Amino acid sequence: MSNHEHREAAHQPVKRKEMSRRQFLSYTLGGATAFMAGGAVLPMIRFAVDPLLTQKTEGTFVKVVEESKITNEPQEFRFQVHQVDGWYESDPELTAWISRDQQGNVFALSPVCKHLGCTINWNTQNDNQYFCPCHEAKYSPEGKNLAVAPAPLDEYDLKIEDGFIYLGPIKPNTKV
């Protein structure tokens, strides 16, 4: 032991930056612990956030009605979409209010009130407006919010092919 110390003293000028035994052990044990904890936790985190990272399904278009049936007065049309919710597939029925604007262009409004999500109806108050029975929101024929609701009614993506109207995903109102 004393011999050893003596030799250390002799080598004084060449000061090597050495890791102490204690440091080495805490780095290796710490690293191994972090690795094992990460190995256990990361799969679970990726598992939990999967809905964030899965590709959104492309909105498909569904045939709803002949274009010739559409008037300036909004009319209610129902159509089915195929919906995949994880392991549960269903065909819920949706509703659209379809009409023509001043220039004669066809557009389709969603019936979901932009206040708190009740279902709106057309002209129930004989004022040529959309009306929501829940808290009396009112919308113009183009879906512009006239009372209570903070935003205009959403629109369906719409295309016309061979004289038929096809509706797609919901988008913010483009008319007002």
Partner 1 sequence: MFKGIYNWIDERLDITPMWRDVADHEVPEHVNPAHHFSAFVYCFGGLTFFITVIQILSGMFLTMYYVPDIINAYASVDYLQHKVAFGAIVRGMHHWGASLVIVMMFLHTLRVFFTGSYKAPREMNWVVGMLIFFIMLGLGLTGYLLPWDNKAYFATKVTLSIAESVPYIGPYIATLINGGEVVGAQTLTRFFAIHVFFLPGALLALLAAHFFMIRKQGISGPL
User: Quick one: what does residue 52 bind among ligand FES, partner 1, none, with the CB cut-off 5 to 8 Å set by partner type?
Assistant: partner 1
Give the x-and-dash track for 115-134 against ligand FES (CB under 6 A): xxxx-------------x-x
Binding site for partner 1 (CB under 8 A): 49, 51-52, 54, 56-57, 83, 85-88, 116-117
Give the x-and-dash track for 87-116 against ligand FES (CB under 6 A): --------------------------x-xx
Identify which of residues 18 and 85 has a Cβ nearer to partner 1 in the complex: 85
Q: What is the dihedral of CA 171, 66, 71, 172, to 10 degrees?
A: 0
Determine the 3-state secondary structure of 122 from DSSP. strand
- Tokens describing residue 87: 């392991």
Q: Are strands 155-161 and 164-171 parallel, antiparallel or unpaired?
A: antiparallel
Residue 147: Cβ within 10 Å count: 13
Could you give the CA distance from residue 165 to residue 92 in angstroms, rounded to a whole number? 19
Identify which of residues 65 and 120 has a Cβ nearer to ligand FES in the complex: 120
Identify which of residues 134 and 176 has a Cβ nearer to ligand FES in the complex: 134
User: Quick one: what does residue 135 bind among ligand FES, partner 1, none, with the CB cut-off 5 to 8 Å set by partner type?
Assistant: ligand FES
- For residues 109 and 101, is the Cβ–Cβ distance under 8 A? no
For residue 161, the minimal CB distance to ligand FES (Å) is 33
Q: Are strands 83-85 and 121-122 parallel, antiparallel or unpaired?
A: unpaired
User: Quick one: what does residue 87 bind among ligand FES, partner 1, none, with the CB cut-off 5 to 8 Å set by partner type?
Assistant: partner 1
Could you give the CA distance from residue 11 to residue 122 in angstroms, rounded to a whole number? 95
When binding is defined by CB under 6 A, the residue of 46, 63, 82, 135 that contacts ligand FES is 135
Residue 43: Cβ within 10 Å count: 10
Could you give the CA distance from residue 97 to residue 72 in angstroms, rounded to a whole number? 11
Q: Where on the chain is the footprint of ligand FES (CB under 6 A)?
A: 113, 115-118, 132, 134-135, 137, 148
